[in-house]
């Protein structure tokens, strides 16, 4: 006795019935004569609703005529089975009108009154989304790799500058040791400034890596916002004096305390003030202001620089973008990205408003500290 003879007569029909894929058969007029349980689940119709109806119900109207012609051509060909959608993606239409991507194969069987066409179809919506997500992640990885390579070039250039200064100063001191005069002190000061410059670049890279990994450390305390604002204003005056800029600082007599990492808050101010000084022409001005709003303290740094184009504003907080925009002398381009990471970690928000030719205003918020706690 053969294995086939051991199978029940309705075995094939049972397999078709329980298959998860849609199995649909149509006659030569493309009327549906078989619609299994998988097809019901995928398309949303019951057998009673769909049997005897045109296959056009399950096909997007824009391709219905093309699809009917493909089946007629398939009937006239010598091919008995083939995969559908070899040249273009195919789609199905659910009962509610929703289109979905599909993968399908078709075979034809000779019956008494002509051909019977059977389609085995699979909904690939989830698989397609996964593929798109993989593509998105791959592109993000490639973009990150490109950014990494670009910033390495920028940082290597910027690190060579202070290293060259240190090397020249040391060489001068070794070749012609000067007496302890102002010249010697100036050389040592230049070396010290260059080392500080390198340390800032390295710390910026470490900070942005911590932000990307979600591991930015904050030493949250109750901080006197008035004192922090005054420290930022003092920093702004120090930087602006050397660039011929005027600094204005306006705040209420007393700001509420904030729950924050004092050093990180000053880092945000330093980044924003540093950018304002960098991009504001001599004779311009920088304004620092503070106010309270709801449960936040709002800080602003404004300048009278050239302003920022709308398209550029959308990318200001992207990592390394400033470096790409300004070239090697623009720095590593991490300041605004780090500032955003710090403010976000505090539960605040940072934003920018700007008009070309009129200047820019960067604003960030910090949460007000709970009442009854001493400030530092």
Give pLDDT, residue 171.
Answer: 73
- Indicate if the pLDDT at residue 204 is higher than 60: yes
What is the Cα–Cα distance from 75 to 291, expressed in whole angstroms? 77
Give pLDDT, residue 20.
Answer: 80
pLDDT band at 79 (very low <50, low <70, confident <90, very high): confident
Give pLDDT, residue 147.
Answer: 67
Mean pLDDT of the chain: 81
Tens-digit pLDDT profile for residues 32-72: 999 999 999 999 999 999 999 999 999 999 888 888 888 88
In this structure, of 50-59, 159-168, 250-259, the range with the lowest mean pLDDT score is 159-168
Give pLDDT, residue 293.
Answer: 86
What is the Cα–Cα distance from 352 to 283, expressed in whole angstroms? 23
Among 312, 272, 321, 274, which residue's Cα sits nearest to residue 151? 321
Higher pLDDT, 68 or 157: 68
Are 208 and 337 in contact by the 8 Å Cβ rule? The answer is yes
Among 191, 200, 192, which residue's Cα sits nearest to residue 169? 191
Higher pLDDT, 199 or 277: 277
Give pLDDT, residue 284.
Answer: 93
Give pLDDT, residue 328.
Answer: 38
Higher pLDDT, 247 or 322: 247
Question: Which of 16-20, 157-161, 220-224, 319-323 is the most confident on average?
Answer: 220-224
Measuring CA to CA, how many Å separate 167 from each of 156, 161, 172?
16, 10, 9
What is the Cα–Cα distance from 274 to 319, expressed in whole angstroms? 17
Among 203, 202, 199, 149, which residue's Cα sits nearest to residue 324? 149
- Residues 76, 77, 82, CA angle at the centre, nearest 5°? 125
Give pLDDT, residue 158.
Answer: 67
Give pLDDT, residue 4.
Answer: 45
Give pLDDT, residue 217.
Answer: 81
- Indicate if the pLDDT at residue 179 is higher than 80: no
Instruction: Work out the average pLDDT over 195-219.
Output: 72
Q: What one-character-per-residue DSSP string does 104-150 give? A: EEEEEEEETTEEEEEEEEEE-HHHHHHHHHHHHHHHHHHHHHHHHHH
In this structure, of 37-41, 84-88, 89-93, 183-187, the range with the lowest mean pLDDT score is 84-88
Percent of residues, the chain, with pLDDT higher than 90: 32
Instruction: Work out the average pLDDT over 175-184.
Output: 69
Are 45 and 140 in contact by the 8 Å Cβ rule? The answer is no
Domains of the chain (ranges; CATH) run 3-123 (3.30.450.20), 129-212 (1.10.287.130), 221-367 (3.30.565.10)
Tens-digit pLDDT profile for residues 320-339: 555 344 443 344 467 888 89
- Indicate if the pLDDT at residue 270 is higher than 70: yes
Are 158 and 332 in contact by the 8 Å Cβ rule? The answer is yes
Tens-digit pLDDT profile for residues 343-358: 999 999 999 999 888 9
Give pLDDT, residue 14.
Answer: 63
- For CA atoms 233, 237, 243, 244, the dihedral sign is positive
Are 343 and 364 in contact by the 8 Å Cβ rule? The answer is yes
Q: pTM of the prediction?
A: 0.52
CA 335 to the chain's CA centroid = 18
pLDDT band at 162 (very low <50, low <70, confident <90, very high): confident
- Indicate if the pLDDT at residue 375 is higher than 80: no
Give pLDDT, residue 376.
Answer: 52
- Indicate if the pLDDT at residue 101 is higher than 80: yes
Give pLDDT, residue 192.
Answer: 72
What is the Cα–Cα distance from 299 to 313, expressed in whole angstroms? 19
């Amino acid at each position: 006795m053969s294995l086939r003879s051991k199978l029940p007569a309705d075995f094939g029909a049972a397999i078709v019935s329980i298959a998860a894929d849609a199995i649909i058969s149509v006659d030569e007029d493309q009327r549906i004569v078989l619609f299994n349980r998988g097809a019901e689940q995928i398309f949303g119709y019951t057998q009673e609703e769909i049997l005897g109806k045109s296959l056009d119900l399950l096909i997007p109207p824009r391709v219905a005529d093309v699809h009917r012609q493909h089946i007629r051509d398939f009937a006239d060909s010598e091919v008995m089975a083939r995969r559908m959608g070899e040249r273009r993606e195919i789609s199905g239409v659910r009962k509610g009108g929703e289109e979905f991507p599909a993968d399908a194969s078709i075979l034809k069987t000779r019956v008494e009154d002509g051909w019977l066409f059977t389609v085995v179809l699979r909904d690939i919506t989830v698989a397609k989304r996964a593929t798109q997500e993989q593509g998105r992640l791959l592109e993000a990885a490639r973009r990150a790799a490109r950014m990494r390579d670009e910033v390495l070039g920028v940082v290597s250039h910027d690190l060579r500058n202070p290293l060259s200064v240190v090397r020249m100063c040391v060489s001068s001191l070794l070749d012609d040791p000067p007496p302890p005069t102002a010249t010697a002190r100036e050389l040592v000061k230049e070396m010290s400034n260059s080392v500080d410059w390198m340390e800032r670049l390295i710390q910026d890279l470490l900070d942005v890596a911590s932000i990307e990994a979600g591991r930015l450390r904050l030493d949250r305390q109750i901080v006197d916002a008035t004192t922090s604002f005054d420290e930022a204003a003092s920093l702004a005056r120090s930087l602006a004096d050397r660039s011929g800029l005027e600094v204005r600082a306006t705040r209420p007599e007393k700001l509420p305390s904030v729950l924050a990492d004092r050093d990180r808050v000053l880092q945000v101010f330093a980044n924003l003030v540093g950018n304002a000084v960098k991009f504001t022409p001599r004779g311009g001005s920088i304004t620092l202001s503070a106010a309270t709003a709801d449960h936040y303290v709002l800080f602003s740094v404004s300048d009278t620089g050239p302003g920022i184009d709308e398209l550029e504003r959308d990318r200001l907080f992207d990592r390394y973008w400033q470096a790409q925009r300004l070239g090697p002398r623009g720095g590593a381009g991490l300041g605004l990205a780090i500032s955003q990471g710090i403010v976000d970690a505090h539960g605040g928000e940072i934003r920018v408003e700007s008009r070309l030719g009129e200047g820019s205003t960067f604003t960030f918020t910090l949460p007000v500290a709970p009442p009854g706690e001493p400030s530092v």
